[in-house]
Structure 1
């Protein structure tokens, strides 16, 4: 048995607990890994709440991105061997001492990259890469990121700037220094946000990456002339209402390898602001769920 952290029913944090889980055997297209680090994302608590449906077998292990060492490979898997240091998407849950990765959504970790850094890439950075590409703002244009200070927003800002795009983003005043460290201009949330966006971008914005949804997206959308350039990772219903769309995911092992190369080269900073042992998983989830987390939170396992 291995130690894992998950939820026994859909609902609030009171449904979370530590679990004992059998060692998992890799099926076709899977890698079995000893987990060394796992990224913490809003999707983790949203899954517990039932945002994505309630079809998962319970109890369910939380977490969706992990980095570790390959123990065994499943039938049909090529390009990976036991002992490889890897990172990728963990459909069986990442908050565990051992888990499975999808080989087609995994990559070998560069030696210069820490397990903690690698664990931030499969969800947050890969989503950011897909979203910046999907919005389609060109070099010299201005991209507005709603909710810029989190893991996806921090990565998206850096990826956009590396492509010659000017970035502005909404965040609380307490996160101004973090936003400016990304090379972006901070815009305060709340009443009058559209006026503050126009002040920072007098010619308007060329695209919006929405990581918040709801009324925040509605308030900001009035600054965008071409609503087809509004892409959301948070709220597909509101995005469609505003004339935008939900992000199109297109991550491949090659994409993950390229992102890892950027981090190893010092061109992309995952902005890990806190590391927790697996025994403190509930604290990490609570901080992300509160909406007050900056950058990326990581669980260190083993």
Structure 2
């Protein structure tokens, strides 16, 4: 185990931990469940026991068959992010599983449905546990051609790509594009170039696929050379190695787009110091740069002349957004996404299954933190967690 993890038992009901064997789908009678939490601000990870929540009106209870890891999970532990205030804090925002109970007023979903959804940074909605709650209107159904493990790779990556492209151009919003399923949206941006930094990241893979549905061409992306076949299979038309010096990236993009429209949209799915500056330089005046990590911005706009004014949007990438226009788009997304997955127009990330259930998460997060994961989504199966 890493030094960032210790086993602890915090049982809100004061009794001994119960078996992790699942109850029948029609009768979720477990009162407690295992969860993985940050035990205190900037503290270690620990296995805890918590109660199983009941779904309220408009909600469903989901037995989590798979949950995926995201960089934000280790970043919250390392930084003590301000949007996490209660500890122990259960993390996790990617989940796929089976509906086991529905709340009042839910009609679109039924007990037994295979679903996936994006969690949130509260113990009730987080996904590093065996059962979780979600608002029913932002739950997607899993088509027969997609496994639970694959489906768990979708919510956060797709959400960040989706909000970053189609959310309104406001703080924590997006570039304000018309979504493919909206009137005139399919192929609307034909002939317009887009540059995606980090095309093989989870978010980048979905940006490429959505850009293809929206008609963008060329679709230019950076990634590690060994991921070139992956990004081109998803729709990228041109590949640039992530190790290319910034000045060479700019010249390569210029050569690719020579004679065509300038680059008015850049999506930085990495948003580190090494990418933000060159991403801004690639962008044409009047264009929009979308960043995925709102707490960092390495672009010193004061050094840019006013004549090259460019819009920088720090997207938060969640369909739980309290801005009505973005939440409404999220509801639309989850009502449409099943068909796109079934047709193959949207493909989930490749996955790597970690052993040990929830107890395998801390080591996986250390791998993410050390940049030891490339082109795959790390997934665990919560009900494989040992006693």
TM-score by length of 1: 0.87
Richer in strand (by share): 1
Q: What is the alpha-carbon distance in structure 2 between the residues aligned to residue 10 and residue 30 of structure 1?
A: 29
Match among 357, 361, 382 for residue 281 of structure 1: 361
Unaligned runs of 5+ in 1: none
1:261-297, Cα deviation, whole Å (9 max, x unpaired): 2222222221223122424222332232223422322
Richer in helix (by share): 1
The residue number in structure 1 matching 2:211 is 160
The residue number in structure 1 matching 2:139 is 106
Do 2:143 and 2:341's aligned partners in 1 also have CA atoms closer than 8 Å? no
Do 1:154 and 1:295's aligned partners in 2 also have CA atoms closer than 8 Å? no
Alpha-carbon shift at residue 171 of structure 1 (Å): 2.4
1:191-241, Cα deviation, whole Å (9 max, x unpaired): 732322322442352310012224321122112113541111223663794
The residue number in structure 2 matching 1:65 is 94
Q: What is the alpha-carbon distance in structure 1 between the residues aligned to residue 335 and residue 378 of structure 2?
A: 21
Runs of 4+, deviation exceeding 6 Å: none
Q: What is the total number of aligned residue pairs between the two structures?
A: 300
Alpha-carbon shift at residue 87 of structure 1 (Å): 1.7
Unaligned runs of 5+ in 2: 1-31, 167-173, 178-187, 302-309, 318-325
Alpha-carbon shift at residue 5 of structure 1 (Å): 1.6
Aligned 1:30-179 pairs, distance under 5 A: 30-50=59-79, 52-53=81-82, 55-91=84-120, 92-133=125-166, 134-135=174-175, 136=177, 138-165=189-216, 166-179=218-231
Highest CA radius of gyration, 1 or 2? 2
Aligned-partner SS, 1:244: strand
Do 2:68 and 2:378's aligned partners in 1 also have CA atoms closer than 8 Å? yes
The residue number in structure 2 matching 1:297 is 378
Do 2:224 and 2:243's aligned partners in 1 also have CA atoms closer than 8 Å? no
After superposition, the Cα gap between the structure-2 partners of 1:143 and 1:273, relative to the gap in structure 1 and judged at 3 Å, is: same
Please give the root-mean-square deviation of Cα atoms over the aligned residues, in Å.
Answer: 2.7
Q: What is the alpha-carbon distance in structure 1 between the residues aligned to residue 290 and residue 300 of structure 2?
A: 9
Aligned-partner SS, 1:128: helix
The residue number in structure 2 matching 1:16 is 45
Match among 191, 205, 208 for residue 263 of structure 2: 205
TM-score by length of 2: 0.69
Alpha-carbon shift at residue 245 of structure 1 (Å): 1.3
